[in-house]
Amino acid sequence: SQTIHQWPATLVQPVGSPLSLECTVEGTSNPNLYWYRQAAGRGLQLLFYSVGIGQISSEVPQNLSASRPQDRQFILSSKKLLLSDSGFYLCAWSAAPNYGYTFGSGTRLTVV
């Protein structure tokens, strides 16, 4: 069966520090991978998606970047965090579009 792993679960980082969040998927190949963010009081905002290794599409201009170094690995990064980067970050994968996404358990990022 397919599983998705996302870590860490919580993270507190100072402003200006770098960020690296990792997501891996098991039990499937060539999945579509996604990064979403849920800011306080808001819905899920699509940040990046990837349909294959090295292919990244950005949905919103921001302080973040994404990379897909391997088929089932998706990384969210920042060189210098801003206070506004705080939020709940979710990784998701999709293989069959009619089933939507399967989400990871999320990372609560607090930038102080």
Partner 1 sequence: DQQVKQNSPSLSVQEGRISILNCDYTNSMFDYFLWYKKYPAEGPTFLISISSIKDKNEDGRFTVFLNKSAKHLSLHIVPSQPGDSAVYFCAARENFNKFYFGSGTKLNVKP
Residue 54 interacts with partner 1 (CB under 8 A): yes or no: no
* Minimum CB distance to partner 1 smaller for 36 or for 74: 36
Q: Which H, E and C letters describe the chain, residue by residue? A: CCEEEEECCEEEECCCCCEEEEEEEECCCCCEEEEEEECCCCCEEEEEEEEECCEEEECCCCCCEEEEEECCEEEEEECCCCHHHCEEEEEEEECCHHHCCEECCCEEEEEC
Identified binder of partner 1 from the candidate list 19, 92, 109, 111, rule CB under 8 A: 92
Interacting stretch for partner 1, rule CB under 8 A, among 60-68, 70-78, 79-87, 89-97? 89-97
Count of residues that interact with partner 1, criterion CB under 8 A: 26
Q: Which of these segments, 14-22, 41-49, 68-76, 78-86, binds partner 1 (CB under 8 A)?
A: 41-49
